[in-house]
Amino acid sequence: MQLNKENIDINKFTEYSQSSIKLILDKAIEKHKQIILTGAPGTGKTYNVRSYVSDQIKLNKDRSEFVQFHPSYDYSDFIEGLRPVILDEATIEEPTFVKMDGIFKAFCRKVVSENYDKIKAKNPTKVNLPFSKLYKKYEDDCTDKYFFIIDEINRADLSKVFGELMFGIEKSYRGIENSFQTQYKNLKTYELANGKGKIIDFDCFSEGFFIPKNLYIIGTMNDIDRSVESFDFALRRRFKWIEIKTNEVAHISLTEILNNSSPEQINTLVDKIKKMNNVISDSVEGRKLGLSEAYHIGHAYFKKVDLNNPLSLKNIFNKNIVPILKEYTRGRQQSDINDFIAKCAEALEVEYEK
């Protein structure tokens, strides 16, 4: 089947490859301003998102931003907060706490500023209009896409990190007409210039923060992350979810990665990987340990395998995969763990070195 955006159903599509995932993202982007790719570790979620965004922005690398969440990430890192800086006009070099943008708000400011510059360039006779009036009138003409990528999005306490964005990220609430007030709305915003803090010359958010319409948010997450429960239902419904399943992505992805191997070699490897993953999620041993599809081993763990070397797959299993399987089963009976790993090795047709 010839793949294009028109014949892909992003809710049912199951034949993944690097190229097809890009098409899925492209189709989803048309209808949704924020998307999350979810699935087992090693399925190429982050790689494919970054590759897709790179294709979209081409040489304009400043039209994307990347951040990886972690448990200590908070509102001040993402939206805004008080930070100690030496002020530019200070007579005594002692730190003063001032409001500064977090990484997301700073990127939104950049998008709005560049949109505004383009609006003024296209409408030179109207540059004397107030910013809010001119921007609102021509905002929909700003079609250059900007992307904000959040890797491991579920590892932070999202309600605290996003704050007022619970309202602002929705597609119907984007743009300057839907400006909203943030936590430190009454304080002037500072930026660093030559290592010192100075008030931002032109504050496009002086009347309220808003997310530009041409900004797209793409997140990635692993289903098995212990902090997955932090993604509450109110935030879940604001994203389009696309699940990448290991056994469905393996064949085409490994064909792309192992392009020096024969189709027969790749078919054999994929069959072994699928059998091992079936042990993880469907066997008596796997179910006994509480495992599921979310614990499958992704194709990325096999990207350096040498299919002409019989020892290569064995080494990958014992050095890279066994530690993961042990982490999956930590705290269980050692005899059950050994039986389970031995079954996985048998499915992959390699020797398990205990």
What Rg value do the Cα atoms of the chain yield, rounded? 24
Q: Exposed/middle/buried for 319, CB within 10 Å: 0-12, 13-18, 19+?
A: exposed
Q: What is the pTM of this model?
A: 0.88
**Cβ neighbours for 279, distance < 8 A, ≥ 6 positions apart:** 285, 286, 340, 343, 344, 347
Can you say whether the dihedral through the CA atoms of 6, 173, 113, 129 is positive or negative? Answer: positive
Tokens of 134: 């001119």
Residue 230 confidence (pLDDT): 57
Residue 246 confidence (pLDDT): 86
Q: Exposed/middle/buried for 215, CB within 10 Å: 0-12, 13-18, 19+?
A: buried
Q: What are the pLDDT digits (tens) for 17-49?
A: 455 677 778 888 878 899 999 989 998 899 889
In angstroms, rounded to a whole number, what is the distance separating the alpha carbons of residues 181 and 197? Answer: 23
Residue 3 confidence (pLDDT): 40
Is there a contact between 176 and 221 (Cβ–Cβ < 8 Å)? no
Is there a contact between 313 and 351 (Cβ–Cβ < 8 Å)? no
Residue 251 confidence (pLDDT): 87
- Report the SS3 class of residue 196: strand
In angstroms, rounded to a whole number, what is the distance separating the alpha carbons of residues 317 and 323? Answer: 9
Residue reference for tokens 């990127």: 107
Tokens of 293: 């599809």
The strand ranges marked E within 205-287 are 215-222, 240-244
Q: How many CB atoms lie within 10 A of CB 55?
A: 11
In angstroms, rounded to a whole number, what is the distance separating the alpha carbons of residues 37 and 152? Answer: 10
CB burial of 290-317 (b: ≥16 within 10 Å; e: otherwise) equals ebebbbbbbbbbbbebebeeeeebbebb
Q: Exposed/middle/buried for 129, CB within 10 Å: 0-12, 13-18, 19+?
A: middle
Angle subtended at Cα 98 by Cα 92 and Cα 100, rounded to the nearest 5 degrees = 130
**Tens-of-pLDDT digits for all 354 residues of the chain?**
334 444 344 444 444 445 567 777 888 887 889 999 998 999 889 988 999 999 999 889 899 999 999 999 999 999 999 999 999 877 778 899 999 999 999 999 999 999 999 999 999 999 999 999 999 999 999 999 999 999 999 889 888 899 988 888 888 899 999 999 999 999 999 999 988 999 999 999 999 999 999 999 999 998 886 555 556 777 788 899 988 888 888 888 898 889 889 999 999 999 999 999 999 998 888 988 999 999 999 999 999 999 999 899 999 999 999 999 999 999 999 999 999 999 999 999 999 998
DSSP class of 317: I
Residue 50 confidence (pLDDT): 93
Per CATH, the number for 5-244 is: 3.40.50.300
DSSP class of 296: P
CA count, 13 A, side-chain hemisphere, 206: 12
